[in-house]
Amino acid sequence: MPRYRLTIEYDGTGLVGWQRQANGLAVQEILETAVERFCGEAARVHGAGRTDAGVHAFGQVAHLDLTRDATPEEILGALNYHVRPAAIAVVAVARAAPEFDARRSAIGRAYLYRIVNRRAPLALDRNRVWHVAPPLDAEAMHAAARLLLGKHDFTSFRDSLCQAKSPVKTLDRLDVVRVGDEIQVIAEARSFLHHQVRNMVGTLKLVGAGKWTAADVAAALAARDRRRGGPTAPAEGLYLVRVEY
């Protein structure tokens, strides 16, 4: 049974996230329906990360087993045909080793969070960024972000429903940069807790607005209490950029 690796991008607007659920349409369900229409049988598409409702992806990775051989080019064309009209694109397909697992084989994940920081409303980026009208200090946000780097207990930035066995994670990168009106937060780690990136961004936004200091962020981290962390940033600003193997 040949195994294939898929690289996928999608706009998560209006979807319940990556994972198939009973309460709405998911990216996984759309892709699995496309596979069934292509090859005439059900097949599971296993993703590297379970992005939440409204979250987007430039570089989600998944693996797929088929009962017959097909060329990567054939699969690419067929899946992109059958996912229409959803805002999902399979951008690459490659044969994978039988032991390759999109989630378990991953050694790193990179996320981008986009904040448009201007008074004017959004015309082109609705549902794709967090619009914050009051001015934010990106340099102060970046300085506070440095305090979260490394191995920590991230309970204060973990969703209460998170099912991870341990709240301890190693954050390899957390940069905040301003590009014109846009503030970009780049986070990299082997793996993340549920809502960890969005909770860190919501906390750093308080610093940018002058409501918190870097010391407040350090205190929140040390508290190991979700009630001490900042708010959860909206889903629409978050993108899964890359999965490393």
Amino acid identity at 79 = L
Greatest CA span in the chain, whole angstroms? 59
Instruction: Work out whether strand 130-132 and strand 108-117 pair parallel, antiparallel, or are unpaired.
Output: parallel
- Residues taking part in catalysis: 52
- Which residues, at least 6 apart from 56, have a Cβ–Cβ distance to it below 8 Å? 9, 10, 11, 12, 13, 128, 236, 238, 239, 240
Burial zone of 196 (CB within 10 Å; 0-12 exposed, 13-18 middle, 19+ buried): buried
Phi, psi dihedral angles at 209 (to 5 degrees): -85, -5
Beta bridge partners of 192: none
